[in-house]
Structures are given as C-alpha cells and as structure tokens.
C-alpha cells in the first residue's frame, strides 16, 4: 500500500552521548508504534567543530508524519532542521522498525560520495540550497551496508 514519507537533516545542539541517543530512540519507538510510523535515524559524529548531525526518515500517514515532524522540529536538542525529500512511495522500506538506528562514523560513509560529508558545513550548505537528492536511496543502502559491524 502506498505510503507517505519525509527525510530531514539537522544538527545536534550539544554533544550527543549514547544515553541521549537511547532516550531519543526509546521515546521514538513508543510513540511511532502508536502512530503507525516507521523509519530510520542516522547520527553522524561532528566535523568542522560541529556537535554531530542527524538524518531521519519518517514513513506512514501524511497527517501523522506532519504531527510528528512538528514535535521533533520543536525539540531543542537539534537545530538547522531541513526537509530534504518528501513524497509517497509504493511501500514502507522500514516496516519492521518504529525507528531503526545506525551510527555513521566518517569512514562508514566513504562508499556514499554524495553523503560522505554528512555532518560538515558543506553538506548543510548543499541541503539549504536544494542540492541534495537521493536521500531515501542512501538511507536504504546505508542500512544494508556492513550490517554485521553495526
Ligand atoms: C533527532 C531526533 C529525532 C527524534 N525522533 C523522534 C521520533 O521519531 N518519534 C518521537 O516520538 N520522538 C522523536 N524525537 C523526540 C521528540 O523530539 C520529542 O522529544 C518527544 O516526542 C517529546 O515527547 P513528550 O512531549 O511526550 O516528552 C526525536 C528527537 C530528536 C532530537
């Protein structure tokens, strides 16, 4: 069944610990399951003195996605939130996950040239000016890459 989706990026406000990520994921998994939202969250460690960056896919009902997007975008733990892709697609890619998660250390992104600088100023400049495409395909491929090391 066709499903709506949205991908955004943002920058962490403060250094993000494993505990912070666990809290975000616990909350996400509880809420998203109730709203029938699935998706994936990537955290890239900071570069250029930044505190780290997020990329998140939300998939589900358009109204539920918008409600959740507003909630997430109001969260002071991140800033510079930019929606980089949205639309509808034939089916969910993360139907088993109310929120899948993967860390993205710099070397793990080397195989994805357009996203290798996720977490850098340059990447966010490209997002601001609409020069990022293929984020959904990237998230799917990144999820499947090196699963044993994740
Ligand atoms: C990067 C990031 C991603 C988040 N993703 C989700 C999410 O998918 N689902 C969710 O319910 N909360 C998510 N949150 C948490 C929300 O922003 C917010 O803290 C939470 O929904 C507040 O719930 P409460 O008002 O019931 O405490 C995320 C937060 C951050 C920083």
Residues facing residue 10 across a β-bridge: 54
pLDDT of 60 strictly over 90: yes
What are the boundaries of each domain within the chain? 3-135
Query: Does ligand 1 have an atom closer than 6 angstroms to the CB of 102?
Result: no
**CATH of the domain spanning 3-135, picked from 3.90.660.10, 3.40.50.150, 3.40.1190.20, 3.30.70.100:** 3.30.70.100
Residue bearing the CA closest to ligand 1, atom 11: 28
Q: What is the pLDDT of residues 25-50, one digit of tens each?
A: 999 999 999 999 999 999 998 766 66
Q: What is the pTM of this model?
A: 0.94
The string of DSSP codes covering 55-109 is EEEEEE-HHHHHHHHHHHHT-TTEEEEEEEEEEEESS-S-TT-SSEEEE--GGGG
Test site for ligand 1: of 54, 55, 75, most ligand atoms within 8 A of the Cβ: 75
């Amino acid at each position: 069944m066709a499903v709506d989706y949205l991908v955004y990026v943002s920058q962490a406000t403060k250094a993000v610990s494993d505990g912070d990520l666990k809290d975000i994921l616990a909350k996400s998994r509880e809420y998203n399951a109730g709203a029938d939202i699935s998706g994936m969250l990537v955290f890239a460690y900071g570069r250029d003195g930044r505190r780290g960056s997020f990329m998140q896919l939300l998939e589900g009902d358009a109204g539920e996605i918008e409600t959740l997007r507003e909630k997430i975008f109001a969260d002071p733990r991140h800033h510079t939130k930019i929606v980089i892709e949205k639309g509808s697609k034939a089916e969910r890619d993360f139907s088993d996950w109310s929120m899948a998660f993967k860390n993205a250390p710099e070397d793990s992104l080397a195989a994805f040239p357009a996203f290798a600088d996720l977490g850098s100023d340059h990447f966010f400049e490209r997002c601001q000016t609409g020069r990022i495409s293929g984020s959904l395909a990237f998230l799917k491929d990144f999820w499947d890459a090196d699963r044993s090391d994740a």
